[in-house]
Every structure is written in C-alpha cells, then in structure tokens.
Amino acid sequence: MATPPATCHSKPKWVTHLGGAALALANTATFEQLDDDARLDKRGAKAIVEKRPLTSLAQLDSLPYVNAAQFETMLTLSKSLGVYEEIKVDYQYNTRAERFIEVKTTTDWITESHASTSPMTPDVDRYTRHDHYHYILELDKEGNIIGGEWVGASKTSHPDFFWLPTRAISGNPHISLEEVREMVKESRGEVSDGTGYKSFTNTNRIAIPDNDPVGATSVLEIAEAGAVRDLTIDIDIAHTYRGDLVIELQKDNVKVLIWDGSKEANGWEDNVVITSESVDGFLGAPITGNWTLTVRDTAGADVGEVVSWGLNVLAN
C-alpha cells in the first residue's frame, strides 16, 4: 500500500459512515418502514422500536432477530431515504478517495502436516490456522475502487506477493525496493488488447513541484520496433487543483500539449484522469526510445503527484 508523498497533503472531507446510517435509520424509521421496506422480521422491528434510542452498533447487533442479512437491507433503505451519518475525517493516504468501505475478514489455511502414511483428515483442525485482516477500501466519487490501506495489526501482517510482509530485510537482505519494482515490471511483458495496440505503463509515483516552471518529468522507455500508426495516452494524476496543471508529451524533437488546465472546465476540481485519449503529432515516429511526460504546476498552494501514465501504441 502506498503512503502519501511528502508534498501531497490530505484535506478534511465529509464521508458517509455506513454503520452510522443503519443506526440513524433504526432510531428514526417507523415500525412499518422497518417491517415492510427494510424487510425485517416483525420481531426484529419491534425490538428496535422498543429499545430506542440505540446508541451504538453493538447495541443494534445484540437485538434479537436482527441478523447480518437484515442489516444489509437497513443500509439499502437508509440510502434510499437519505438517512445517513456523515463524519469529518482527515484522510492522509489518498487525496482522490471520496468514499470508504471497512473490510474485516478471516482466512483459514492449512499448514504442512507431519510426515505420515495415514490420511490426516481427522486431524486437519490441528494444522488449520486463522488469519484476521482489517482493511479500508478507497473509492472515488463514482464508486470505483482506487486503492486501500491495511489497518492495525494488518499493516505488518497480511498476504504479500513476495511473502515478506514483516521481515523484508531479515528475510532477504539482498533485495532492494528498486529490484522488486524491476521484477514486477519485467514480469508484465507487453500487453495487447487484441486489436493490435500494445500498452506500456510507468507506475513510478513522482511528486509535482508546486508553482515550478520546470515541473516533474517521467520517462517511459519502449523497446518496441516499428513506427507509430496510432497513439493514445492514459494519465492518472492526483492533485488538489487541476486547473494549475500543464501536461506535455515529448519524443525526440516533437512535443505535444496534452492538457492545459487554464483552458479546461471545472479547473477547481481535484485530479486529472485521462483514459485512451488520442494523441496527434507522432504519426510515423519510431516507437522505440524514450517518451517523456512533463507535468508543470503553474500556481502556488495546491500540490500533487503523477500516480501513473502509459501509452497505447498501434504500429505500422
């Protein structure tokens, strides 16, 4: 999970607390709404009404005939009625996140048993382990998952691609972060969408200097042979005022303007997300070589970073 760069500051925002939404509904809905619209058992609806006001989710959860499935229907009804609780948070990890979902799960797994010539089925419980994970899922305004953060003990104990979640240095002192990134990059190979386009991506995060005419540069090195027949670009930039930004793509002596925030609508909004936008000016250019993305911040106060960017190339 990525931590925020030093130049990327969080900002307070109101977020919907779903647990609070269910509690708010339980304290305000009529018996008929709980019974019919939320589809609770009549006995569950009656228990809620009789115990109001409820002061905690634990109290709501302890009521008879209010189970997990019915809790979900209460959430659905609370959203449709506009009954919800909002809390103000200062979330520090992802400035693009607007909604959050808390995930708690338990994973059961079986370790290697002792050597034996007999089936271990009767004793499988002796070798079964239970891992508990706590996670915050980050969503954008449209509800798309854009990231997340491990919480509590899960920060240092969770499933990991290289299986070195807590002891990277002692477990393997001979591998660096840059080597891991290179391994991941090389393992991807070339990506084709089935139409002849090949995609190349740079996922190294780069901070954008605030109010700096030089800006931040990110280089995408491509070894693909051939000449450009068609070219589209993908860009993901986290920034607190996108109207400040100017984005250019350069290959050899050709430079093309991709984004000028001063001429874009809603420049006061956060972030720049571009998906498969056509880029003119490189027709016939050799694909192989260094492609450079430059992002300049033209005003003070607001900051951000290049999260990732990539090119989708169709060769002649």
Confidence (pTM): 0.41
CA–CA separation, 87 vs 12, rounded Å?
Answer: 10
Number of C-beta neighbours around residue 241 at 10 A: 18
- Report, as ranges of residue numbers, the positions in the chain whose pLDDT lies below 50: 1-16, 161-168
Q: Return the CATH fold of 188-315.
A: Jelly Rolls (2.60.120)
pLDDT score of 86 = 53
What residues does each domain of the chain span? 13-88, 96-110+123-166, 188-315
**Phi, psi for 129 (deg, rounded to 5):** -115, 155
pLDDT at 68: 61
| pLDDT at position 254 | 92
| pLDDT for residue 134 | 85
Q: How do residues 165-174 score in pLDDT, each as one tens digit?
A: 444 455 566 6
